[in-house]
Amino acid sequence: MTLCGFEIAPGEKRQVKLPVPGGAPLEAWLLCGAHPGKTLVVTAGVHGCEYVGILALQKLVETLDCATLYGQVILLPLVNSKGFFAGVKQLNPADGRNLNREFPGKADGTETQRMAWAIEKLLYPEADFLLDLHGGDWNEELAPLVFFPCGAGQTVERETRRAAQALSVSMRVCSTTRNGLYSWAAQKGIPALLLERGGNGRWTSEEVDADREDVLRLMNHLGIRKGEFDAVPQTEIAKAVYEEAPADGYWFPEVCAGQEVLKDELLGRWKSSDGTQSCEVRARFAGRVLYETTALGVRRNDPLVAYGTA
């Protein structure tokens, strides 16, 4: 069969380079099952300092046996390699852009925009389902969770909610974001999820194994792999607030990721870099902290803290 323009035989595992107009190719692994079935696309390293997903996909490449698969799996373990090797949070240092804010891309745009264009043109058509692995960058602490798309149509929302429930995280968050790798796929009618695990630019073997297990759980859910996992209790976060810095300045958090907070509880304090402005960020309702910034310095529109409730 043909995947992403490359011929591959049933039961074969093959590393390929996906072309990006005028730039370095994206390195991917094609795993063709010995039996027919759906195709799952899994990406990691969109943000170069989010390490858990990168290592989880490397481990999957080594351990998945194509002879046991019913369908195909396409893995991109490290999308933003320049950000990874430069240690740059969230951005591609080639053009200073955040790939997860550049969909749809442009074939004649900046390097990041061309990467987004290539991902949409080469991977989206192959995907029956797409999973994008993220985690807290070096400036973020987060609670493990999965985002699923709302507003992309009833069919996509229904399929992604069911798939999210198959994962091992305790929270699934309804998201209306539209211009990310997974959320733009959902706008194009492809069921897709964004899984978050890890933080502060660190990783543990336990977190890597948990991410790997969640990819296997999704493969089981899609029928690509035979097997079962015990269900994990999960709460749906239907209402969330994402606080951002009003200008360049300093951030002093008062809460931790995963913490339960009360209405009006102090989440943190922001102060402008010139010292002329300051504000307190308080919870508008009782809920649970999804993630928070641990860095002292923040730029205008940088995330500060997010929290939500059922």
Q: Where are the domains of the chain?
A: 2-235, 238-309
Label residue 59 by pLDDT band (50, 70, 90): very high
The residue among 165, 173, 142, 161 whose CA lies nearest residue 310 is 173
Q: What are phi and psi of 6, to 5 degrees?
A: -110, 135
Q: pTM score, two decimals?
A: 0.97
Sign, Cα dihedral of 260, 206, 47, 269: positive
- Say if strands 129-134 and 192-196 run parallel, antiparallel, or are unpaired: parallel
What is the CATH code of the structural domain delimited by 2-235? 3.40.630.10
Label residue 270 by pLDDT band (50, 70, 90): very high
- One fold for both 2-235 and 238-309? no
pLDDT recorded at residue 1: 86
Label residue 140 by pLDDT band (50, 70, 90): very high
| 238-309 topology per CATH | OB fold (Dihydrolipoamide Acetyltransferase, E2P) (2.40.50)
User: What are the pLDDT digits (tens) for 197-222?
Assistant: 999 999 999 999 999 999 999 999 99
